[in-house]
Chain A
Amino acid sequence: MSVLRVVRWGRTSLRYRPRALAVGAACALLALALGVLAVGSGEYPLAPADVLRTLAGQGHPADAFIVRDVRLPRVITALAVGAALALAGALFQSLTRNPLGSPDILGFTAGAATGALVVIVLVGGSSLALAGGAVAGGLLTGVLIYALAWRHGLHGYRLVLTGIGVLAILTGVNGYLLTRAQITEAGRAVLWLTGSLDGRGWDSAGPLLVALAALLPPVVASARALHLLELGDDAAAALGVPVERLRLALLAAAVLLASFAAAAAGPVAFVALTAPQLARRMTRAPGPNLLPSACLGAALLVGADLLAQRAFPGHLLPVGVVTGLVGGGYLVWLLATERRAGRI
């Protein structure tokens, strides 16, 4: 358990943990550094110093085109998707009180995938329509799971099981939509289902950035109440937390974050699961660790995208393949250690 410090200005005070602060700052720096590296790498390589100079507006005009119009949107999308997914994962894991309770495992991102597949296969719309379908699908699934799991209040375990049931149904539906598609559409659909950042421009980053900017402050402000909620409903209610209202609001925020992230890059696997867990182990702080998780998620996704583009020369893998494989290995390790600790 790490040290807790308090700063006071007159009547207001702020509690913080030095270690968590340091880890969060380090993760944010790592994410930015990886972002600069990602902007600099590709068919036309740029040194990190050149990238920084170009971003500051003092570079070569040709560099400026490549950086601002070609590579920066992709990297910004990656950072935002990673942060949004990790934040959603941290919220879900805290609300379900389970290290495996992340939106991709509980069917929320599968709902977004169903929405997007409907657009790809049945409507055949543009990328904007696809994003809209994904957000609508994710939100509908969220409402459905909440309604089904609600019974005299919402319990973590029932949310988990309802989510798994809905996930299984949606997997069947997604498989059906995939068999309905023409082979070219099926390729596009599988690419989207895996999660990919190829060809992402400012138009895909925009809605996600707006959602992130709107949701991040209230979510982070409620971190303390969320921490109290982990003590149990009764204890939290006794300490003045409006339990059901807070839970509904945070669930809605998490579903929105996951849906917008899925709309931008597809349901990238395992970032939402791993980032909060890794962040918690690094900060050694109790509670949801929201900001460190978000920074680490951004770093993870940019790093995974960099790896996916560079690992196999000649093959541009979608980022979801890398996160899926790395996350799968991590998951097995998590299962083994958590079992030993008796938490799974």
Chain B
Amino acid sequence: MTLTQPSETRRGPVARPRGPRRTRGGRGAARAAGLLAALLLLAVVVVLSIAVGAKQLPLGTVWPGLTDPASAQYTVVHEMRLPRTLLGLTAGLALGLAGGVMQALTRNPLADPGLLGINAGASAAVVSAIAFLGVGAYSGYVWFAFAGAAAVSVLLYTVGGGRGATPARLALAGAALNAALLSYVNAVMLIDAASLDRMRFWTVGSLASARLDVVAQLAPFVAAGTALALALARPLNAMALGDDSATALGARPGRARAGAVVAVTLLVGAATAACGPIVFVGLIVPHLVRSLTGPDLRWLLPYCAVLAPVLLLGADVLGRVLGRPGELQVGIVTAVLGGPLFLHFVRRRRVARA
């Protein structure tokens, strides 16, 4: 202290005490404005998602279609586009948040529920439920999706939570798990041709079969997961410094970790049960958001929650435009668009140095 004090006094009373406060306030305002802009973007994508499709609705008719039962578009909007849009909104939010939480939890910039096999765990459980137990409805197989997602996240966590786990190794472990679960899913589909016909559409990830009651059943799980994830932002922030510092700062790493695994399981399990495995949304959105907000999870997670549905709905709209007169499933669009971005991250950054 005695050594540093003179140098500070010599530099004089610069604007140092005031400076950080002002920039912090300024950054806070900028972040809040950014969040508003993101919400606006979300609104635009929602309108597009309602308007674009096999039957194109003029943008001006979207609002009457939503609110006025006498409108010519009322049926299309309420039967087809609205459930699909709401499902995309909820699932996107769930996947984006889960990705953000997982990247913080594993301190791994490449963590993604799809890449690490959590989606595949949920798929394997759902496929077993469809084929062997004859479960047909969302309310039935969401529980299997939870069980599968939980099993894989716990397994991955025990593998990836170790100090020696580098991003590349964790990604590799996830890819291997993915391969194992995928071959199981294929095996089940081969044994049961009837479920093959249903599941080959489900296993690519699609919003096409959305129904309002499914969205209603999905919502409570996602809401619980979202609340838990947002509540964990502060302890997870502290844990970025390491467990010892986090404990010293008053966080309880063990509890925060368990909570994070529960949140990821809830979010991914619910989303996967509703629309099949969708990769890369949970990877890319937190990455893009981090360049906007910095690493602070209290901002990062809300941004993820808003921007991930933008990506998912945008991909869905793109799939409807590109695949005309049919459509491309959203899981395919995110994989084909997200893959190159992932490769770009790998090439540009040294994130993965093993």
Contact = CB atoms under 8 A, between A and B. Distances in A.
Interface of A: 98, 100-101, 104-106, 148, 151, 156-158, 160-162, 164-169, 171-173, 175-176, 178-179, 183, 186-187, 190-191, 193-194, 269-270, 273, 315, 317-318, 320-321, 323-325, 327-328, 331-332, 335-336, 339, 342, 344
A186 B196 contact: yes
B203 A321 contact: no
B316 to A, nearest CB: 14
Contacts of A166: 339, 343
Contact of A100 (B115, B164, B172, B193): B172
Interface stretch (B141-149, B181-189, B209-217): B181-189
A100 B346 contact: no
Interface in B145-199: 155, 158-159, 162, 164-166, 168-169, 171-173, 175-177, 179-184, 186-187, 189-191, 193, 196-197
B175 to A, nearest CB: 5
Nearest to B191: A315
Given A148-B347, A172-B335, A176-B204, A321 B171 contact: no
A318 B190 contact: yes
A168 B180 contact: no
Interface string B125-155: 0000000000000000000000000000001
Given A98-B168, A164-B171, 6 more contacts: A160-B171, A160-B352, A172-B335, A175-B203, A190-B186, A332-B180
Contacts of A186: 196-197, 200
B168 A157 contact: yes
B168 A190 contact: no
Contacts of B158: 336, 339
A161 B162 contact: no
Given A162-B343, A186-B196, A269-B179, A179 B201 contact: yes
Given A315-B191, A321-B183, A176 B200 contact: no
A158 B346 contact: yes
Contacts of B92: none
A175 to B, nearest CB: 4
Given A172-B204, A178-B200, A161 B187 contact: no
B204 A344 contact: no
A331 B156 CA distance: 12
A105 B176 contact: yes
Classify the secondary structure of A's interface with B: helix
A20 B103 CA distance: 43
Nearest to B182: A171
A320 B177 CA distance: 16
Interface of B: 110, 114-115, 155, 158-159, 162, 164-166, 168-169, 171-173, 175-177, 179-184, 186-187, 189-191, 193, 196-197, 200-201, 203-205, 279-280, 328-329, 331-332, 334-336, 338-340, 342-343, 346-347, 352-354
A50 B179 CA distance: 40
Contact of B342 (A168, A324, A332): A168
A342 B164 CA distance: 6
A300 to B, nearest CB: 15
A270 B172 contact: no
Given A173-B332, A175-B329, A165 B191 contact: no
A262 B346 CA distance: 28
A165 B340 CA distance: 8
Nearest to B161: A339
A182 to B, nearest CB: 10
Given A328-B180, A335-B159, A168 B335 contact: yes
Given A164-B172, A169-B340, A187-B196, A105 B352 contact: no
Contact of B280 (A168, A317, A328, A332): A168
B187 A100 contact: no
Nearest to A174: B204
Contacts of B197: 183, 186
A186 B162 CA distance: 41
A179 B340 CA distance: 22
Contacts of B334: 172
Contact of A328 (B114, B171, B184): B184
Contact of A156 (B171, B205, B346, B354): B354
11 contacts: A100-B173, A104-B179, A157-B352, A158-B346, A169-B339, A171-B182, A172-B332, A175-B335, A176-B328, A327-B183, A331-B177
Nearest to A171: B335
A40 to B, nearest CB: 27
Contact of B115 (A164, A194, A327): A164
- Max chain B C-beta neighbours (<10 A), residue from A156, A158, A167, A183: A158
B344 to A, nearest CB: 9
The 8 closest A-B pairs by CB, nearest first: A172-B335, A324-B183, A328-B180, A169-B339, A175-B204, A321-B187, A157-B354, A165-B342
Contacts of B164: 339, 342, 344
Given A158-B352, A176-B332, A98 B186 contact: no
Nearest to B351: A161
B354 A194 contact: no
A105 B172 contact: yes
A162 B180 contact: no
A269 B183 contact: yes
A332 B156 CA distance: 10
Contacts of B193: 183, 187
B339 A172 contact: yes
